[in-house]
Amino acid sequence: MPRRIISASRYLIAIAAAAILLLATALLLYGAAQTYVLLAGIAAGSLAKSKALVLAAIELVDLLLLATVLYVIAIGLYELFIDDQLPLPEWLEIHSLDDLKDKLIGVVVLVMAVLFLGQLIGWDGQRDLLGFGAATALVIAALTYFASQKKAKKNNALKDQ
């Protein structure tokens, strides 16, 4: 009996997957609304300055990328704990926790780059961006190194078989 209960408890992750999917959906809808506002601002001429337009677009991309990260997490958790046979594109298939981590690392690196780009474009000349840029670059480098080492270990393990 305890074994069956523990085995069935994996379905509790469906709650987390559903909650994260709802949050991703809400962010996507908000992003769509913000896209409309941005396009209306462009049409009305209120975003005549190219710097303001680029900054608004980058902030919008950042928001939509965050929604994408949440979507990937939700789908990944569902695939890992509930149903591994979802009809998804091959690039979104997640069969292990390492697969989910690899997908997340890629998206997190992209979000961090977009975030830094937004800070750079919105820079007023007063703030020190060097420290922020260096910290961002360091985290991106560490994540890239981590991902490359995992791939190298995986390739070596396949060669040894």
Number of Cβ within 10 Å of residue 20's Cβ equals 20
Specify whether the CB–CB gap between 78 and 17 falls below 8 A.
yes
d(C-alpha 40, C-alpha 46), whole Å: 9
Does the pLDDT of residue 19 top 90, yes or no?
Answer: yes
Tokens describing residue 29 = 């809808």
The mean pLDDT of the chain is 85
User: What pLDDT score does 47 carry?
Assistant: 65
pTM above 0.85, yes or no: no
| DSSP H/E element including 107 | helix 97-121
Number of Cβ within 10 Å of residue 145's Cβ equals 10
pLDDT digits (tens, 9 = 90+) for 78-121: 998 998 888 888 888 888 888 888 878 888 888 888 888 888 88
CA angle 137, 64, 103 (to 5 degrees): 60
